[in-house]
Amino acid sequence: MANTVIDIKSLTKYYGKHRGIEDISFSIEEGEIFGFIGPNGAGKSTTIRLLLSLIFPTSGEASIFGKDCFTEAPSIAREVGYLPAEVFYYDGMKVIDLLKYAASFYDKDCMPRIKQLAERLELDVSRKIDDLSYGNKKKVGIVQGLAHSPRLIILDEPTGGLDPLMQQTFFDLLREENQRGATVFFSSHILSEVQRLCDRVAILKDGHLINLQKMSELQAESYKKIRLVTRTPEANGALQAIVEMGAANMVIDENSASFIFRGDLNAMLAVLSNLKLQDLTIEEPDLEEVFLHYYR
Amino acid sequence: MNVLIQEIKQYRKGLLAWIVGLTLGAFMFMPFLPAFADNVSSMKEFLAGMGLSLTEAIGIDFEVFFGPLGYFNYIYSFIILAAGIQALALGLRIIALETRFKTADFLLTKPKSRSSIYLQKVAAGLISLLVTQAIVNLVCLISLKAFAVESFSLQNFLLLVSTLSFMQFFLYALGILVAALAPKLKQTIGVAIGITMLFYVLYVVANLTKEELYNWFTPFKYFEGNYILIHQAYDASFLALGVALTVVFLVAGLVVYRRRDVHSV
């Protein structure tokens, strides 16, 4: 059995009276790429900041590698690479100075890996950080987060500011780290990137965990995306029946309709067969659509 | 040690500016010492004409003012005022730095305990202040030797300039605690000037009203040059209070810093 890397039990954080997260529990196994999705304000960052001991919980427990996140943070941090959503660094420093400073916190020699990563990301380390574009600052963040070859990589909305090619390189890097054995914990509100990368996904809404599933289950087993074109004028009644069977996100145009469906496919098809169909497609929904369903 | 070195690197330009400013301040007024010594009698009349209360308020004590150290103490009290602002601003800055540059996420997710980061930051600031004090006092001593007409006791000089160290450490520690308690603080120099001037005004009010109570609320009274010139010693209870508060501020700062929530930017 794989080792548990992150274990969260009934974790709750209030900012004064304001709810951050409430009673969140889940665990992540070694070697997983775990996605954490939800809109802004759902509690993704709160959870991550708790794991990193940047903030302290109102109640509940969290551990990484079996160590308590709040009392053994420095020892955990040796094995964790973190890339925050927004990257800012000290004034007037060159990229290489910052990377050397970051590396000085670890017992190992990170310089070969830093060179490797900088080359891969096409990052010029001799430049001043102040002069860098947002995307390039982000690269500095990636390099300093991965330089010590961490066993757990925590990323909070990591791809903002990276162009699509760079995003691809970055995802390749994460996959390689994962193949090396690193566990990846990844928060995002951009569902396609979670979809591309993750094995399992947790969906967060208003500070609560509302679903936790394997990516494959979430996409393939549960939901179908259906689009149809019909000449039957009184199709609305049939579509209403389908909604009652478990359709969601129903969008009806003049003579076409689309929806996602979870339920008995045969029963739905029986209803559809009464319509004069011109066209019918059944496909895997992308996560975006599944997600909208949860947020209706 | 890496945090300590980084902090000193970050502050070195500011430190240099403060040292240059403070030594220039000291140096500019010292040449007036011979002229001052020549005109003691007319100065006495002039100061009497200003009225006793005003001269007392700004810390001129007739008993001690008319020696080389008396005049020096008067100049030095303004150096202490400025150096106090430096120390308080440094205390605020050293903790608020991560807020200002939004680097808390970077620094506090590294494998270093918050206590260790705090202690290294505090040490970096203390080193900067010790460097400031050493240079400023050396320049004062050299220029005093160069310009003083009468001889003066080196021991008294050293006792007098030790007030700068106590004062800076006190305000530095206060700055650290304030910054730890106010995590959103970014503007440090304005706050430092405000708090230091408040203490100074309290000191002036304490001198004017001769109200004993005020003395307990201003560090300018805890480490007071005039008292040292008259008694060749500190007032023991004020000294003890000042040092104790300095330690309390630093420990309280650590307690707050260890447990405070660091919010995203």
CATH number where A205 lies:
3.40.50.300
DSSP A116-148: HHHHHTT--TTSBGGGS-HHHHHHHHHHHHHTT
Of A268 and B33, the one with more pLDDT: A268
Q: What is the mean pLDDT of residues B155-175?
A: 96
The one-letter amino acid at B49: G
Record: contact A78-B111, CB cut-off 8 A: yes
Helix ranges (DSSP H) in B30-153? 32-38, 40-50, 52-57, 62-65, 68-100, 104-107, 114-147
Number of domains in chain B: 1
The one-letter amino acid at B93: R
Of the candidates A215, A176, A266, the one whose C-alpha atom is nearest the C-alpha of residue A36 is A215
Q: What is the mean pLDDT of residues B219-248?
A: 93
Same domain, A39 and A181: yes
Same domain, A158 and A87: yes
Same domain, A211 and A88: yes
A173: domain range?
Answer: 4-218
Among A218, A241, A276, the domain-final residue is A218
Residues in A closer than 8 angstroms to B261, CB to CB, are: 15, 54-56
Same domain, A105 and A191: yes
B199 found inside a domain? yes
Structural contact between residues A219 and A211, judged by C-beta atoms closer than 8 angstroms: no
Of the candidates A200, A12, A182, the one whose C-alpha atom is nearest the C-alpha of residue A83 is A182
* Nearest Cα residue in chain A from B4: A101
CA torsion sign, B240 to B242 to B243 to B245? positive
Same domain, A166 and A243: no
pLDDT tens figures, B47-65: 677 666 656 666 666 656 6
**What distance in Å separates the CA atoms of residue A41 and residue A133, rounded to the nearest whole number?**
26
Residue A292: the pLDDT is 66
Q: What is the mean pLDDT of residues B3-10?
A: 92
Could you tell me whether strands A152-156 and A80-83 are parallel, antiparallel, or unpaired per DSSP bridges? Answer: parallel
Structural contact between residues A171 and A196, judged by C-beta atoms closer than 8 angstroms: yes
Band of residue B226 on the pLDDT scale cut at 50, 70, 90: confident
Record: contact B105-A82, CB cut-off 8 A: yes
CA dihedral B211, B214, B218, B220 (to 10 degrees): 0
Angle between helices A235-245 and A265-272 (to 10 degrees): 170
Mean pLDDT of chain B: 88
pLDDT tens figures, B85-94: 999 999 999 9
Same domain, A196 and A271: no
- Asked if residue B179 has pLDDT above 70, the reply is yes
Residue B164: the pLDDT is 97
Residue B131: the pLDDT is 97
Structural contact between residues A3 and A182, judged by C-beta atoms closer than 8 angstroms: no
Same domain, A19 and A111: yes
Same domain, A111 and A203: yes
Out of B103, B109, B116, closest to residue A88 by CB: B103
Instruction: Report the predicted TM-score, pTM, of the whole model to 2 decimal places.
Output: 0.85
Measured CA angle at B83 (ends B80, B84), to 5 deg: 80
Band of residue B8 on the pLDDT scale cut at 50, 70, 90: very high
Same domain, A142 and A234: no
Residue A125: the pLDDT is 94
Residue A267: the pLDDT is 86
Q: Which of B105, B112, B116, B121 to mutate to test the interface with A (most CBs of A within 10 A)?
A: B105
Residue B64: the pLDDT is 63
Structural contact between residues A8 and A48, judged by C-beta atoms closer than 8 angstroms: no
B108: domain range?
Answer: 2-259
Q: How close does chain A come to B111, measured CA to CA in Å?
A: 4
- Asked if residue B29 has pLDDT above 70, the reply is yes
**What distance in Å separates the CA atoms of residue A7 and residue A34, rounded to the nearest whole number?**
13
B265 found inside a domain? no
Same domain, A261 and A132: no
The CA radius of gyration of chain B, in Å to the nearest whole number, is: 20
Residue A189: the pLDDT is 78
Which residues are paired to A18 by β-bridges? Answer: A15
Class of residue B260 by CB neighbours under 10 A (exposed 0-12, middle 13-18, buried 19+): middle
Out of B101, B103, B111, closest to residue A106 by CB: B111
Among A218, A235, A262, the domain-final residue is A218
Low-confidence ranges of chain A (pLDDT < 50): none
Residues in A closer than 8 angstroms to B8, CB to CB, are: none
For residue A206, the 8-state DSSP code is T
Number of domains in chain A: 2
B228 found inside a domain? yes
Record: contact A73-B10, CB cut-off 8 A: no
The complex's ipTM works out to: 0.84
Among A218, A245, A277, the domain-final residue is A218
Same domain, A169 and A232: no
Record: contact B111-A77, CB cut-off 8 A: yes
Same domain, A133 and A25: yes
- Asked if residue B177 has pLDDT above 80, the reply is yes
Record: contact A88-B101, CB cut-off 8 A: yes
